[in-house]
Amino acid sequence: MTKRPRKAIIIGAGIAGPVTAILLKKAGIDAQLFEAWPHSAGIGGGLQIAPNGMHVLAELGLADEMIHRGSVAESFDFYSQSGVRLGSVNQNMKQRFGQPAVNMRRATLNDAILNKAWCEDVELAFEKRLVRIEDRADQPIVAHFADGTSAEGDFLIGADGVHSAVRAHVIADDPKPFDTGLIGFGGFVPRSVIENTPIGQRVETTFGQSGFFGYGFCSPDRNDGVMWWSTQPAHGTAAATFRAMSQGELKRHLLNFHAGWHAPIPQLLEAADNITVTATLDVATLPTWWRKRALLIGDAAHATSPHAGQGASIALEDALRLARLMQNEQELSATFEAFEKERRPRAERVVALARRNGNSKREFSATGAWLRDHMLKWLLPFTSRGMDWMYEYDPRAV
């Protein structure tokens, strides 16, 4: 029998970090969580948690709360720029996979999991930016923070996202995030903007000759109950250039880019404020996910561009699977090796799918877009079934 690690240091209080801390605590392992930024109640745009991720929220006792505070997505429907319906995927998720797909504000998800972490007595410190890790034999592993403080534990989990600092400790010359050449805009508008549009609980998405637009309900909130997003080729313009623009300029850019697209896209953009801009990043496959007593999970291990709508769900899966494997009382290195062996094939399959999906949002000639739309119409019924492997996975049942 090996000495059981008693204390985890977790870097990053996004999605994977707090959930790992909660589940480790439940498994009898202490967890201290460190986040670079101050606590904020309003971060990020909207996202969708798929059934595979909802199983993890169910394990935490948060699935019903998120269904109540979010909005169940009954399908994901596709249209051409002029509004011709191309098809629909992701129907009857709850009946088929045991949990629905749920749209929500990232801030609502973050609020629920941080509250849960506090209820489970997870120690949580904000404004603690990891800058260096020391991992010497016969001593605790030490995390050093930008403010000059440090923390010690038996092992360290890097849940610090796409720009992970832990990754640089785990891998010499670690691959850096690269821009995929697509840029994302997003935000929320009042429910009244689409309440008279017959979309029901569907998420509606549109492929343009250049770019992509999506929207759907994401909360019962009257003022911010609809999420929308636009993905466009960046044409060499950096996200920072767009971020430097005023809200009025951003709105004009979006109205111009989506001019002539079917209703209610122009109406959604007219109502938009607090528009956020995101570079669409990807990271090359890592040679390893761990070194000695430090392990990467979530986007730090397998950052994915957002085009499969799965990054948060597989980060949630990572948290649950790691906590389960930690209960096997093996050497830490054996647990980390087992984790990577189990998780890598699935995560990389999702990353590859997201890359392929991203390619259909680039710029097409008029004929190319016409061909793509016709192909989609024909292929979508098969694509739908071809995605079941993502959703039918229940990390509690592995």
Ligand X SMILES: Cc1cc2nc3c(=O)[nH]c(=O)nc-3n(C[C@H](O)[C@H](O)[C@H](O)COP(=O)(O)OP(=O)(O)OC[C@H]3O[C@@H](n4cnc5c(N)ncnc54)[C@H](O)[C@@H]3O)c2cc1C
Going by their DSSP bridges, the two strands 294-296 and 290-291 should be labelled as antiparallel
Instruction: Tell whether residue 73 is a contact of ligand X (CB under 6 A).
Output: no
Nearest distance from residue 138's CB to ligand X, in Å? Answer: 26
Nearest distance from residue 2's CB to ligand X, in Å? Answer: 28
Give the C-alpha separation, 303 to 285, whole Å.
9
Instruction: Tell whether residue 143 is a contact of ligand X (CB under 6 A).
Output: no
Closest-CB residue for ligand X?
14
Nearest distance from residue 179's CB to ligand X, in Å? Answer: 12
Q: For ligand X, give the closer residue by CB, 70 or 161.
A: 161
Considering only the stretches 7-15, 65-73, 84-92, 174-182, report the one whose residues sit in contact with ligand X under the rule CB under 6 A.
7-15
Instruction: Tell whether residue 130 is a contact of ligand X (CB under 6 A).
Output: yes
Does residue 372 sit in helix, strand or coil?
A: helix
Nearest distance from residue 288's CB to ligand X, in Å? Answer: 17
Nearest distance from residue 199's CB to ligand X, in Å? Answer: 17
Spatial strand order in the sheet of 46-49: 46-49, 101-105, 71-73
Give the C-alpha separation, 40 to 33, whole Å.
16
DSSP 20-72: HHHHHHHTT-EEEEE-SSPP-SS-S-EEEE-HHHHHHHHHTT-HHHHHHHSEE
Instruction: Tell whether residue 36 is a contact of ligand X (CB under 6 A).
Output: yes
Nearest distance from residue 143's CB to ligand X, in Å? Answer: 9
Radius of gyration of the chain (CA): 21
Going by their DSSP bridges, the two strands 46-49 and 101-105 should be labelled as antiparallel
Q: Which of 310, 340, 369, 373 binds ligand X (CB under 6 A)?
A: 310
Number of residues that this document lists for the chain: 398
# chain residues binding ligand X, by CB under 6 A: 33
The contact set with ligand X (CB under 6 A) reads 11-17, 34-37, 45, 47-48, 129-130, 159-161, 163, 165, 184, 278, 298-300, 306, 309-313, 315
